[in-house]
Structure 1
Amino acid sequence: MSLTWLETEGGPFIVVPRTTLSHWSGREGDYDRACEVMGLLGILELPDGAEALVLGDEPLSTAYLPELRALVRWCYAESEEGVADIVRAGLPTAEWDEGPVLSTTGELVMFDAAYFGTEAGTLTDSTVLELGAGRYRVDSASIEPDQLTSFHVHRFVELT
């Protein structure tokens, strides 16, 4: 399975509910708030009460594995060959850190935080995370099967 990798222009990725994309102001204000996230992940409140997930730390290439409800962030590897299989194989033994809780009304869109939400998919690449409405804890782990391969993985764990 080939993954679609997204890049930013050097800043963080933002993950916003599709229904509130128009509230993300990019460089007009929200981008600065996203850049203040120092850890791997953070939650920002949007003007309408919705929440956005920030992928902080380094601006790493990122792909979505829908069957695992997981974002994969490329730290280093020799090639793109078999990344999905490497991640799948590493999940059972990964040491997961519990992350922030994100509430969403449903489908999410990930894109470069520097852009307006209305530009996602047009002026900037984006990917859709098809999650149902609810609350999700976003846990993180590193998958490093050898000294030449490393990925950060963030999985969405539905809370009841």
Structure 2
Amino acid sequence: MAVETEGGPCIVVPQSALPHWSGTEGDYDQACEVDLVGVLALPDGAEALVLGDEPLSTAYLPEDRVLVRWCYAESVEGVTDIIRAGLPTAEWEEGPVLSTTGELVMFDAAYFGTEVGTLTASTTLELGAGRYRVDSASVEPDRRTSFRVHRFVELA
């Protein structure tokens, strides 16, 4: 399921830390300062991943551990195949390191974590506990199709 925002960034927060995300009452301003992708510290040592830049529709491909941000395309048909075909040849930029205790939840950063599932849509990212570098690339198979992708690279 894709997550849409009302104009701000998407946030990816550990399920266990959702009550700590304060949305527009505190954390949102800090999230808006992130250009492309960044990590914010939360209370109790948890970390949140911020997907900044433009407010793009964002989905997760669990088999590939990739977040897909829709820049533009003529159709939704075949998007997964387009992304998967582009991943091996993408020019990846190394990104920040995110530590997590397991299941993550992606939603509009403007909302409180406690509003997930009631006032705002979300999607779950099932990653094992550990440290992941979040690399970024563009997948642009032609001039009418562009996606920004972020992959989770597990670190030892």
What TM-score results when the alignment is normalised by the length of structure 1? 0.96
Residue 104 of structure 1 and its aligned partner are, at CA, apart by: 0.3
Q: Partner amino acid for 1:59?
A: P
Residue 36 of structure 1 and its aligned partner are, at CA, apart by: 1.1
2:16 and 2:47 map into 1 onto residues whose CA distance is 11
Residue 49 of structure 1 and its aligned partner are, at CA, apart by: 1.3
Q: Which runs of 5+ in 1 are unaligned?
A: none
Q: Partner amino acid for 1:113?
A: A
1:94 and 1:146 map into 2 onto residues whose CA distance is 14
**1:129 corresponds to which of 122, 125, 132:** 125
Identical columns (%): 82
Question: What pairs up with 1:119-158 in 2 under 5 angstroms?
Answer: 119-158=115-154
What TM-score results when the alignment is normalised by the length of structure 2? 0.98
RMSD of aligned residue pairs (Cα, Å): 0.6
Q: Which runs of 5+ in 2 are unaligned?
A: none
Q: Partner amino acid for 2:34?
A: V
Question: What pairs up with 1:10-159 in 2 under 5 angstroms?
Answer: 10-38=7-35, 40-159=36-155
Residue 121 of structure 1 and its aligned partner are, at CA, apart by: 1.6
1:59 and 1:33 map into 2 onto residues whose CA distance is 16
